[in-house]
Structure 1
Amino acid sequence: MKLTKRNMVHFLLYLLLLAGLIIVVLPFCYMLSTSLKPNGALYEFPPRFFPSLEEITLENYDYIHHQGKFYMNFINSVLVSGITVLIAAFVAAALGFCIARFHFPGRRFLFLFIMLTMIIPGTTLIVPQYELAVKLKVINNLWGLIPFYVAWVIPYSTFMIKGFVENVPRELDEAIYMDGGGVFTVFFRIIFPLAKPGIASVSIFNFLTAWEEFPWANTVINDNLKRTLPIAISGFFGQHQFTQWGYVFALSVLSLVPILVIFIFCQKFFVAGLTAGSVKG
């Protein structure tokens, strides 16, 4: 095959993508291999990336399995992330619908305000958020996480869903109004179903945000049985004067299972949401 400039560009592009794939996948492979090693094998020299067949053990997973509090931490993470996704999806869809379809005083300012909140680092708001949580009496409570997570993800979700709503032809709205339907009929029968790919795609990001969040959860929750998985994982650092890396990576691998399941079953919505949001119709 004749080597042309076009083929060379494609070869270099694929090589770059392969290098990026290796960089991304390598830490996950190391995490999985380490979770299958006994804790004593982690400090051997020279270190080995993969354990031998004789070294492979499930003792780290067995330890996690027999710790009942980690099941509670897992359930807490599922509840917090699930409720956050549901509330944020509905509120952001309603906000995106109102901003995209209706003209009212302060509409542009409202959308600009939503955009500006996206550039504020979350860690800078921990102190005022903590004071608010104290006044609301939600310290050491899962409800001290959910409202704040919802507030964090709504700006981005509204911004994305607004673009999907704008792609829905207004003629569909007008047809509903001519048949005697109201605003809620348009929202639930037209906008919400047609914007489902966009809602699904932002919901995946919202789930990841709530599932992986650490600083705020570590600030608000003190009870071990009410903590989420990231806090449970951090509990192994410095435990008994050294870090139990086998337990850390075993629990980290288990925490990835819900994320992988969501991506597998929601992949078509995720891809459709990204492609639909890139085209204005």
Structure 2
Amino acid sequence: MKEKNLALNFILFVLLLVTAFVFIVPFLWTFLTSLKTNDEIYASALTILPTKITFEHYVKVITQMGDFLKYFRNSVVVSLWSVLATVVFSASMGYAFSKMDFKFKNIYLGFVLFILTLPYVIYLIPIYIMESKMDLIDTAWGLILPYIATNLPMSVFIMRGQFNNVPNTLGEAATIDGCNNWQVFSKIMLPVVKPGIATVIIFTFINVWGEFTYGRTLTATAKAQTLPVGITFLRDEAASWQYGTLTATIILSLIPLLIIFLSMQKYFISGIMEGALKG
């Protein structure tokens, strides 16, 4: 039995190693390409590691492509506001669905869960029509509001699961000590569900930062377009698929994602398991 378990663990380790390799290789290839000179990138002999490291492509993106910083700034603004609003609304709704009793509670919750089964692209045409009438096309809020709406159902589900794991006696004890509902929620419950909040932040930020369809449809100029949309235009500006510049742009666009994930990774796994599976 022990030998069988060792064999299964070894097979599992190999499978995980191969899976990690498959996901990491494209990122490494892109990063290493961004450090190569143009002569080496387009050379007939294929090389993996750069023979001479250069940052000329990064310098070109930041200094010579003026719209890149504009696209980057737009992505930061849209992502931060979307994440902030999604965290506030999902935490409040998750707490209400978990710890409070109100009329038609199960019906509302069922509606939220039903929305999870629908692909978010089906809302695109109605949203476009509404935003056209409200003059929100090609504005930051024209992206922020749909991003909040599309990320909220899953976030509510995660936060409800987190609050379900908090004993009711904790809130009851705080109420006996004189706390009102808001104080119980903000000072007692929220600190306990940090893994869920971190999970919502990571998921929402990833979804918003890399979203292309809404960004391309609901914006028309660089004043509101985000980085995923802007990269397609920078590609043309960079002499049509100039790989050094393109890979440098991609790596720069991934930096915020890495920062967010690495800063909250210790909460991520527990937030997924408790919020999504036990909710």
User: TM exceeds 0.5?
Assistant: yes
SS of the equivalent of 1:145 reads helix
How far is 1:183 from its partner? 1.6
Distance 2:4 2:195 in 1: 39
Residues 79 and 209, structure 2, Cα contact 8 Å, conserved in 1: yes
Distance 1:39 1:222 in 2: 32
How far is 1:119 from its partner? 1.6
Q: Establish whether residue 99 from structure 1 lines up as the match of residue 118 from structure 2.
A: no
Identity %: 34
Corresponding residue number in structure 2 for 1:79: 77
SS of the equivalent of 1:37 reads coil
Corresponding residue number in structure 2 for 1:6: 5
AA in 2 matched with 1:22: F
Q: Establish whether residue 57 from structure 1 lines up as the match of residue 48 from structure 2.
A: no
AA in 2 matched with 1:109: I
Corresponding residue number in structure 1 for 2:222: 224
SS of the equivalent of 2:205 reads helix
Q: How many residue pairs were aligned? A: 277
Q: TM-score, normalised by structure 2?
A: 0.91
AA in 1 matched with 2:14: L
How far is 1:48 from its partner? 3.0
How far is 1:206 from its partner? 0.5
Corresponding residue number in structure 1 for 2:44: 45
Distance 1:163 1:253 in 2: 35
SS of the equivalent of 1:225 reads coil
Distance 2:77 2:276 in 1: 32
Distance 2:55 2:199 in 1: 35
SS of the equivalent of 1:120 reads coil
What stretches of structure 1 of length at least 5 have no aligned partner?
Answer: none
Q: Residues 196-232 of structure 1: CA distance to partner in whole angstroms, max 9, x if unpaired?
A: 2211111111011111111111111122233211112
AA in 2 matched with 1:69: D
How do 1:225-244 residues align onto structure 2 when only pairs under 5 Å count? Answer: 225-239=223-237, 242-244=240-242
How do 1:108-123 residues align onto structure 2 when only pairs under 5 Å count? Answer: 108-123=106-121
Distance 1:41 1:210 in 2: 35
Residues 236 and 244, structure 1, Cα contact 8 Å, conserved in 2: no
Q: Which of residues 178, 181, 204 in structure 1 aligns to 2:179?
A: 181
RMSD, matched Cα: 2.2
Residues 85 and 207, structure 1, Cα contact 8 Å, conserved in 2: yes
How far is 1:175 from its partner? 2.1
Q: Establish whether residue 168 from structure 1 lines up as the match of residue 166 from structure 2.
A: yes
Distance 2:121 2:187 in 1: 39
How far is 1:41 from its partner? 4.0
Distance 1:39 1:223 in 2: 30
Q: Establish whether residue 20 from structure 1 lines up as the match of residue 19 from structure 2.
A: yes
CA separation of 1:77 and 1:240: change in aligned 2, threshold 3 A: closer
SS of the equivalent of 1:221 reads coil
Residues 236 and 243, structure 1, Cα contact 8 Å, conserved in 2: no
